[in-house]
Copies of this chain bind each other. A is one copy, B any other.
Amino acid sequence: MIEPVQTGAPLDMNAPDTVWMLVATALVLLMTPALGFFYGGLVRAKNALNTMMMSFAALAVAGIVWALLGYSLAFAEGTGFIGGTTHALLRGVGLETRGTIPHLLFMAYQGTFAIITAALISGAIVERKRFGAYLIFVALWTLAVYAPVAHWVWGGGWLARLGVLDYAGGTVVHVNAGVAALTAAILIRPRKDYARQALLPHNVPYVLLGAALLWFGWFGFNGGSALGVNRGAVLAFVNTMLAPAATLLVWMLIDLARTRRTTAVGAATGIVVGLVAITPAAGFVPPMSAMAIGALAAFPSYFGILWRSRTALDDSLDVVAAHGLGGATGALLTGVFATAAAGGTDGLLAGNPRQVLIQALGIAAAMVYSGVATALLLKLIGLAIPLRSHGRDEAIGMDITQHGEEAYTHGEGAVLLAQSTVTPHQETRP
């Protein structure tokens, strides 16, 4: 533990920046299990584990794929479209600094983004997607879709050069995941019971727990995107507190106006939408604008969800409305509210309407690429193995059929198997 070798080692890194990025990385990593609870509470009990496992598995699959190759594709020198393979297998990614923090930490921090982006998509295809196909999808999608889009905006790619503003991933993460979710929901088709039966959340407290931990982790997501403890970090952090508060307030008011009741599932959704919307703008707008963005962003997502659930599109947990629409709204409003003084480029309100167009271009580019590439990937995987379960298995539930487990068991009727070699209790004198 007390290791003179290390403590004595030359500290080229900036120490406070590094502390903050360590904390931010841990916070963002926590967001993926948090998402598992957010999503897991929204499905039926018989699919709770499967839904949570989609997030937990992303930690393994996207995490490893990122370290081995994805990071390099996103952040190594390359073309305007994709990075190179210089950093594959973490070559050249060590404790020397990138910016003011160790390169390795930068890689890890970016990895947590790749993980959660892949996990976000799962909300569109829960309660029916086969788990094996999902794992393969996550691996390929991280490399073929996430890494390039991240490169475009944050790796010095063509959107960065165009001047697209995306502080912490409105476009790279949320629009990208939202469009992939839309594509997957269409290709994988609705659940057998969709629009015939009421498919209700089995545990709303889990949804609230997930939302709370997402908010907590999001301080690292937005605040850490400053890559150090600087003015941008503080601004992004505080905006990440204020914007979702505003969205939550407006969401509750719309709920009240429409049904005379505020819902808890709505509150959890409102928090997430607010977090999504402020993500692209976090370090570019002053706090009062952040509240405005939060408040405005409630509307498209709220009514998007209402509208979607009347269509045949079984985007089961409304990834499109919450992340796709929320991210796009945030990205556009970044072009409206950003100011050079706050740390961005001047936007519409500061007299630069062009920025809104640039933002729209960024969104459109991510949409087209993510939609097409996701569809191709799914078709490809679908050639090799079936993407979704049989109707029969869907009725039984994915936990039993995909994982051989139940989230909540009692033990009645469970008979031990293959335990013939076990000596029962009375003989076990040590």
Contacts and interface: CB of A to CB of B under 8 A. Distances in A.
- Majority secondary structure, A binding face: helix
Nearest to A250: B60
Interface string A395-430: 000010011111111110011101101111101111
Contacts of A195: 416, 419, 422-425
A383 interface: no
Interface string A35-66: 01100100011001100110011011101100
**5 nearest CB pairs, A to B:** A6-B232, A33-B212, A15-B16, A63-B245, A60-B248
Contact of A223 (B22, B94, B192, B228): B22
A204 B90 contact: no
B409 A241 contact: no
A23 interface: yes
Contacts of A189: 425, 428-430
Contacts of A23: 19, 22-23
A392 interface: no
A94 to B, nearest CB: 8
Nearest to A169: B1
Most buried by B among A26, A311, A428: A26
A152 to B, nearest CB: 12
Interface stretch (A117-125, A258-266, A348-356, A365-373): A258-266
A251 to B, nearest CB: 8
Contacts of A167: 1, 3
Contacts of A178: none
Interface string A212-254: 1101100110010111111111110110011011101100100
A238 B107 contact: yes
A102 to B, nearest CB: 5
A85 B30 CA distance: 39
A267 to B, nearest CB: 5
Contacts of A248: 56-57, 59-60
Contacts of A25: 219, 237, 241
A88 to B, nearest CB: 11
A425 B132 contact: no
A319 to B, nearest CB: 16
